[in-house]
Structure formats: C-alpha cells, structure tokens
Structure 1
C-alpha cells in the first residue's frame, strides 16, 4: 500500500493511491477529481476504467464533470431557486434557466485541503473544504469532509460528512464515468447493469423532474435484473428522447436490507463492480450528451463511452413532495457513504 504525490501547476496536486494488488486511484486536490482508476480484468491486466482527460489542464473547465466531487447540491435545481424557512434563495443559471451541480463555484471547482493517511489494510485521503455563507447563493457556513479510501481487497470507498450553521440544501456525489472494458476499449452497449429500483423519476423537456414517479416495469428503465445498458439507452420512449437518446434519470432504491444497490459488469474483460450505498437513490447517466473530439487518456471521447452512478438524495424535493430530502439543519450531521467493490465474473 502506498501514496504518492505529484505537484502540478496552480497549486494543484495529484495523489496516487495504490494497494498491493496493483489497483490504483489517482485524485486531484482540485475538485476532488478522480482522474484514473486502474483495476485488474479476469487475466489480471490492470487498465483504466474511468474517463479522464489526456491533459490535466482540461479539468479547469471540465463541463462533463469527469470524476469530480459534486456539491453543494448534485443535480438540477429547477429555475435556479428554492425557498427555505420562508426565505427565497436565487442561484446561478448555469444550464438554461436552471442550476446544475452547484454552479460555476461548485465543489468541483475548488481546491480542497488534503490529508493523506495510511493504515494496515488501506490508504486514503481526507478532503476538507469550508464553504462560506452566501457562496454560490447558498445559505450557511458549511464544513465538508470527503474521505477516499482504497482498501486492500479492491474496494474503493467514498464517505461524506458535513455540518452547517444555517438551514441549507446539501447532497453530495461523485461524477466518475465508468467503463469496465478497460482503457475505453468498447462503448457501454454490452456492459451489463442491475439496479435495485422499482421506480424512476419522470423528466420534462429540460431534464427537470415533473414530480411524478414512474414504474420501471415494462420500460427500458427496468434494470432489476442485469441487462445490457444498450437495451436501456437505445429505446425510443419519450423519457429516453428528453435525455438525449439515453438515460439521465434518478432511480429510487427499493427499501430493503440489500447493501448492494447496483452491479455492473463487462462480459469481455470480465470486470465486475458492485455499488453499496446508504443513499436513497442515484442518477444513472449513460453519457448521452458527451461530445465527440475531447482528448481522453486512451483516445477520443464519444457518446455512450462511460456511465455515472451518482448516489445521492434528490434536489426535486425542494419543489415536490415525496422525494428524498436534501435539507441540512444546524446541529445535524450529514453523513453518508458509497462503496465500489471490484472483482471478476
């Protein structure tokens, strides 16, 4: 187990976590961005399974949020406004008339304080950031800690902790794009995914939740049994169409005692990933709107090249009843974790 640090420009640093199996995770202090994740296939070959830029300077803008920590609120806030305790707050419009992923001053755009740690069976990083009251239009001084832990058994854990001195919306996630084929060898079409979810959230033409929950039964969004992702995003329903011929929807996890909420596998490489989380749901995004022509580490970008599993609560709860809430109050502690475990078929 080891940790290495490389100094880049603009006070940026890149941390490399490696376990004794050779699994490796690279992280920037800028945006908490995961730039690379090397995982063995069925033959033991270590290859990168996340999308990342060939030139780290491209993370400065990073419109696709590759690998980034997302906050204060992951997802879209309708009309860039919300009301808490009788007071209305207006946020930046950074996607049409709506507010996406914390805006231009979101957590993906800040330099985090990083404290590396080493244990007998794990190495990791504690990332800390103190958001000032009013920053980005959000209320409250908020202290945030995000811990990345690479375990010896090829588990990668992200745990989030936060507190505030004013009532404020908060739901954090990581925006890594996974492609288990390794080194972007194939698109997502034949990669198999299962999701422990009976319901997903209906979107309008601007990708804003309508307030309606739809049953997955009989739809392209039914991943209760593992199936190729292409079966889901190649469908021609209205919900696929509004998402840019794909999936960019919030799935509400079923309430049960299952720790594993998502599985993903690539039948060619044999890589398998399971996602365990205590979050109430997640956005699955199949990179429908990923533009062509971006220089990535293993080639050029194209549609359907990576899938995001954005475990989080739902910002739709700021405008609709019946959605997992995102409001954090003084005296409360925001605490959640998501664990990615890697193996082979």
Structure 2
C-alpha cells in the first residue's frame, strides 16, 4: 500500500508562504526560483515555484519548460502533488518521456514523419513505429529553456524562451517561442505558448502533464478519476495510432465522456478495435467548442474521494486523452514510486494529430507575420461532499 499522506502539507502552511510584502502591500501570489540540479554536461536547471493564496502551487523546470509539480488541496485542506514525474533532473535526462513537458514543435503524431508544405516535402526523425511523435529528434521537451522573467504579484508569472533554428529536427523556419506560466490567487494556472517564424512551417504546442487527482503515489490510481470531455466526436486511428481522417461519433461507444464517467469504464473493451489499437485510450477528441479566441472547457477530471477537481481549458479544437497505457512498471518517479499502467492520465489540448496530412483537419500552418498562440488553463478546485 502506498502512503497516501506522504508529502501532504496543510493549506495554512502553504498559504503562509504565498504572501510576501512589496512596498508595504501583501502580494496574493509568490514566485521564487532556485537550482534544481545539473544536467550531465554541467548545465544548471532552474526550478521556478509559483504559489497562490489558496494552497495551490506549481513548480516549473527550465528543462523542457516542464510543469514538474502541481500541489492541490483536497476538501479538508490537505495538499498533494497531482502530477506524475521524475523526482530529479537526472531522471528527465536519462529516460525522457514527456511528463509535464512543453511539447514542440509538433504535439502528437505525424504519419511516417513526413508532411508537405507549399509543394515541398519535409522528413522528420521517426520513432520505432516509423512515426514522428511530439516533434521528433531533439524536441522542445529536452531543451533547457531560458528564464526570461519571474514575478510575484496578484498573479505570479514565469516566462521561458527558446529558439529553434531553421531545419531543427527537419522542420522549416526559425522558431522563436515563449511559454508563460501564470498562477492567480484562486489557483488558476494559465500556460500561454507564443511563437513566431521566419518561414512557413507547422506548429502544434501543448503541455504533457500526467495527472492523478487522488495524488501522485496514491493508493487510488487515476482510473478511479471521473472524466468529462465535451466532445461528441473523436478521431479514430489505425494500428499505428495515426488518424484515419474520420470524425466518428462517441455516442454508444467507450469514447463517450460527455456526461462524465470513471476513466476505467470501457478501458478494457476488447470488442472495440480502437481500444485494442490504443491499448486503452490514446485518442484525440474533436471538441464541440472548436477553435476559440479565449480558453473554454476541454476536459474535467475529478477524484470523488478527495474532491480534487481539475478543469482543462484551451483555445485549441482538440484534446488528446491518454490513459497511461505505456506506464509499464519500469518508470520510477517521485519519492521512489513505481509507475504502472493507469497510474496517471494525460489531457493534452492541441490541434489534431497528423493535421498537416489531412486537409479537412484544423490547419497547423504558421506564417511569417502571423504569430502562433495557444492559451490553456489548469483550473484546480474542490467539489462539495
């Protein structure tokens, strides 16, 4: 049995840390930074912690601009980290697997690692399944980003920047990108991805946090979490997890999360070929809201026992739901916890996978003079008993 109480802190203790004085006035959210350790080449990795007044805090590593920790209180004020991740920088470097990282240039899969833009075909690095996944090659998740600014205030912010040169991992154009994490006094963690290019290219950035709202290392795995996705359609895939191009109705299938249900329901439905292909859920949902100018609800995740609730809001038209199918007991995470299938899930707001090869999917094209922006929010709260 895992120790559910390990690492808990009281709201009072956390809240006391959330207030600092500036010019005689109390600030509602605090931002601090410190060294998190060094990479094998001696490069220092920084950790920036944003702390809100209500006990929510987020710690971001410069390595991968990675959301490393997200502390959330339950109904009784007990705080737990709800993110699966490695316990130190060395883990991220030795066995990269995207946990909590900023994903780019292209989140999700591109078939054969190939796409054509303005008549020219570009070849990207391929994984062992012959696809490009999450950017391929040396993606944004394994880069040590620069800290541009860290500020306390009513909203605590941390800004990270990275330049990806023309031809990086096969993609055209020099990309200058910034990721801004902002935590307000109510515990809303906003992540803004901004980028510009000097050549036409494709871009699809997101965050790849792995959640269990019962708490990382809890005796209740993430399959007991209740998930809602406001999407009446999803994009079915082939045996290589590449979208077929169809938009299929979720009604009457294991993919119907419109009314909310435990993640485990339908997870082992071997009669559904899509569940067999994904080894569970590993699919993009076409959100009913579509592309929006401001973030709107993309998913809701709740642990009914503790009452911790996560709402994921985004401006993007899709969200990838991944049920932790490849967590196989070989990953050792925080506090020595062994991560197994179902211990955490990902909810990745995005444009659709393999969109550059599907004219009917929302476009991921970005041109000079037309900046890219994706705004998403992790909203942490509790439900009533």
Name the TM tier (shorter chain): over 0.9
Residue 320 of structure 2 corresponds to residue 287 of structure 1? no
Report the counterpart of residue 230 of structure 1 in structure 2. Answer: 264
Report the counterpart of residue 20 of structure 2 in structure 1. Answer: none
- Secondary structure of 2:90's aligned partner: helix
Report the counterpart of residue 88 of structure 1 in structure 2. Answer: 121
Q: Distance in 1 between matches of 2:84 and 2:180?
A: 21
After superposition, the C-alpha distances for 1:63-116 in whole angstroms (9 at most, x for unaligned) are: 421111000000111011111011111111124211111113110011111133
* RMSD of aligned Cα (Å): 1.5
Q: Distance in 1 between matches of 2:100 and 2:181?
A: 13
1:300-319 maps to which residues of 2 (within 5 A)? 300-319=338-357
Q: Distance in 1 between matches of 2:209 and 2:313?
A: 16
Residue 278 of structure 2 corresponds to residue 243 of structure 1? yes
- Secondary structure of 2:159's aligned partner: strand
CA contact (8 A) 1:207 1:242 kept: yes
Residue 62 of structure 2 corresponds to residue 29 of structure 1? yes
Note the C-alpha offset of 1:144.
0.6
After superposition, the C-alpha distances for 1:277-302 in whole angstroms (9 at most, x for unaligned) are: 11111111010111203221141110
Report the counterpart of residue 15 of structure 2 in structure 1. Answer: none
1:35-114 maps to which residues of 2 (within 5 A)? 35-114=68-147
- Secondary structure of 1:108's aligned partner: helix
Residue 312 of structure 2 corresponds to residue 275 of structure 1? yes
Residue 376 of structure 2 corresponds to residue 343 of structure 1? no
Max radius of gyration: which structure?
A: 2
Report the counterpart of residue 5 of structure 1 in structure 2. Answer: 33
After superposition, the C-alpha distances for 1:35-70 in whole angstroms (9 at most, x for unaligned) are: 111100110001000001123201014442111100
Q: Distance in 1 between matches of 2:89 and 2:167?
A: 30
Q: Distance in 2 between matches of 1:301 and 1:309?
A: 18
Q: Distance in 2 between matches of 1:119 and 1:11?
A: 23
Please identify, of 112-121 and 288-297, the stretch whose mean Cα deviation from structure 2 is larger: 112-121
Report the counterpart of residue 296 of structure 1 in structure 2. Answer: 333
Report the counterpart of residue 255 of structure 2 in structure 1. Answer: 221
Q: Distance in 2 between matches of 1:130 and 1:41?
A: 39
Gaps of at least 5 residues in structure 1 are none
- Secondary structure of 2:224's aligned partner: coil
CA contact (8 A) 2:31 2:152 kept: no
Report the counterpart of residue 173 of structure 1 in structure 2. Answer: 206
Gaps of at least 5 residues in structure 2 are 1-28
Q: Distance in 1 between matches of 2:138 and 2:31?
A: 29
- Secondary structure of 1:60's aligned partner: helix
- Secondary structure of 1:3's aligned partner: strand
- Secondary structure of 1:305's aligned partner: coil
Aligned residues: 344
CA contact (8 A) 2:179 2:194 kept: yes
Report the counterpart of residue 191 of structure 2 in structure 1. Answer: 158
TM-score by length of 2: 0.86
